[in-house]
Amino acid sequence: MTATVTYPDIEAAAGRIEGVAHRTPVARSSQFDERAGCTAYFKCENFQRMGAFKFRGAYNTLAKLTPEQRAKGVVAFSSGNHAQAVALAGKLLGVPATIVMPKDAPAVKVAATKGYGAEVILFDRAEESREKIASRLAAERGSQVVPPFDHPDVIAGQGTCTKELLEEVGPLDYLFVCCGGAGLLSGCAIAASHLSPGTKVIGVEPAAGDDVQRSFRAKQVQSIAMPDTIADGARTQAPSELTLSLVLKHVHDIITVTDAQLVESMRFLWERMKLVVEPTGALATAGVLNGPFDVRGKRVGIILSGGNADIQVVSKLFT
């Protein structure tokens, strides 16, 4: 793979999503600052359209398609936020979207995806692989597959949230970003290295799903078994060659937090800051509070990546 992503790609993405994606607010909390001893700026992507930053990358990718490609539609594979992001971007741009979801995906997510006008194809995890369905659909229809993180246009789109944050609050000492397949982390790190070169960018993974940390240390892609963690947006088994190369180039370190630490940070965000953040969205906050970095006296950026929490599941976590 020769494709890479640079800051001008993020600038171009920002132009494409302008007026379509929300310029999300930056939250402050004197209680958090007191507790962590730092000055923290929370970028609230839980308030992004469809409830997560993924809208940025999906919209940027679909907006770049040629009229011929748009007419043939797009295919995505996800039971989570990426499904809704591609469905909504498709609806706004008039691109037919087909989303392949496992049969056991939560009914609310299937309904939300259909609600944005996408065609949903359910598959049986035990019988078929999503890759097979992908290649079959793409071949039959001549449509483009939009992956959740392994794509330069997706990564450039995700980076726009850090561009906005740095433009609003100025240079930072640290930027903490949650990490699944590292599309968001890659994009954010590229934006930070251009706009605030002194910033140490830290990726935060769930302890059970440490594929990017392992790959970062080994300097080559390492795969793990399907991780068991409440951070469902970070249940990836490996980064891609592209995201790992960008992480190795621009990211200072990758750390992990436990599910118990995640729940504690979620509780803080919900109770004290009144922010509805999903488990994966609290990874960066948990990384600041529990990680090895001494942030006292520092200016710290924290990406809250999404807010699509299932209230029934979350309420059990809080009891």
Which parts of this chain interact with ligand PLP (CB under 6 A)? 52, 54, 80-81, 148-149, 178-185, 233-234, 236, 278, 280-281, 305-306
Instruction: Output 38 or 179, the one with its CB closest to ligand PLP.
Output: 179
209 is catalytic: yes
Instruction: Output 73 or 306, the one with its CB closest to ligand PLP.
Output: 306
Residue 126 tokens, joined: 């035990």
Closest separation in Å from C-beta 283 to ligand PLP: 7
**Active-site entry in 233, 305, 306, 307:** 305
211 is catalytic: yes
Quick check: 99 and 122 in contact, CB under 8 A?
no
Instruction: Output 80 or 90, the one with its CB closest to ligand PLP.
Output: 80
Closest separation in Å from C-beta 179 to ligand PLP: 5
Look at phi and psi of residue 231 and say left if phi exceeds 0, alpha if psi is from -120 to 50, else beta.
beta
Instruction: Output 62 or 70, the one with its CB closest to ligand PLP.
Output: 62
**Active-site entry in 54, 183, 210, 281:** 54
Instruction: Output 52 or 146, the one with its CB closest to ligand PLP.
Output: 52
Q: Rounded to whole angstroms, what are the CA distances from 35 to 42, 100, 200, 276, 296? A: 15, 43, 21, 20, 10
Residue 110 tokens, joined: 């299937």
Nearest-Å Rg of the Cα atoms of the chain is: 18
Q: State which residue has the least CB distance to ligand PLP.
A: 306
Closest separation in Å from C-beta 206 to ligand PLP: 10
**Active-site entry in 205, 210, 232, 278:** 205
Closest separation in Å from C-beta 57 to ligand PLP: 8
**Active-site entry in 9, 164, 211, 278:** 211
186 is catalytic: no
Closest separation in Å from C-beta 243 to ligand PLP: 8
**Active-site entry in 29, 79, 193, 215:** 79
Instruction: Output 70 or 80, the one with its CB closest to ligand PLP.
Output: 80
193 is catalytic: no
Closest separation in Å from C-beta 71 to ligand PLP: 28
Quick check: 79 and 118 in contact, CB under 8 A?
no
Place of tokens 């949650």: 178
Active site residues: 54, 79, 205, 209, 211, 305
